[in-house]
Amino acid sequence: MMNYKPGILKALGLIIVLQLVCQFSFGQVHTFEAGFRLQKTVDLYYENGISGQYHLTKRITLGATYLSSRLGSAIGSNAIKQDNFLLSGSWMFRPKKPLKPFVRANLGYFIADYESDVFKSLTNTSAIASLDAGLAYSFKSPLRLNLSLGYNAITGSGAKGAGTLYPVFYQTSIFWNLAKRKSK
């Protein structure tokens, strides 16, 4: 048996999964996009990460996103390291036009790393429930750009909740369509 390194196996695995997703997308006529999201919370951190969207219909998109200050404000600084895991559903308006307004509902989980036992009595996790709305622009290439403004319904209040979960955020996402094909 050849002795493969785990990193190579992971990379091969990822390629196979992406290939399967593309096949699946073509097979179902639907499409899958993957990309990066850059988010700024008003008066707090940049939290960046990765995002994927599956186009269920012309109008409905389902997505999954991971955002973290580890990939934003906490790089080389004393910002708190915090992670957001999100599942979302979007509704697209004017689906046949390149410029599409959209609204999106997000649900997820938030966790902050306070790094010291001194703070073990503090809440550092929370559910996430947010809404955002914005514009998506589909280029002729498989590239799509999303811009949106959002509001977190659950925030830390001092008496309860995670203190660094703030209400207002804006974000941009850059997606690459892995199986560019128009939905019917």
Regarding beta strands 46-55 and 60-68, do their DSSP bridges make them parallel or antiparallel, or are they unpaired?
antiparallel
Give the span between the Cα atoms of 184 and 182, in whole angstroms.
6
One character per residue 70-99, x = contact with other proteins (rule: CB under 8 A)? ---x---xxxx-------------------
30 touches 55 (CB < 8 A): yes
- Inter-CA distances, 110 with 51, 56, 135, 160, Å: 16, 26, 25, 14
Task: Name which position in 40, 91, 142, 155 contacts other proteins (CB under 8 A).
Answer: 155
**Does 130 engage in binding with other proteins (CB under 8 A)?**
no
**Does 126 engage in binding with other proteins (CB under 8 A)?**
no
Least CB distance to other proteins at residue 118 (A): 5
- As beta bridge partners, residue 177 has 33
Residues in contact with 63: Cβ distance below 8 Å, sequence separation at least 6, in sequence order:
51, 52, 53, 54, 86, 87, 88, 89, 90, 104
Task: Name which position in 156, 173, 177, 179 contacts other proteins (CB under 8 A).
Answer: 156
Task: Name which position in 96, 141, 158, 184 contacts other proteins (CB under 8 A).
Answer: 158
**Does 101 engage in binding with other proteins (CB under 8 A)?**
no
**Does 131 engage in binding with other proteins (CB under 8 A)?**
no
List residues near other proteins by CB under 8 A.
42-44, 73, 77-80, 112, 114-116, 118-119, 121-122, 155-159, 162-164, 166-168
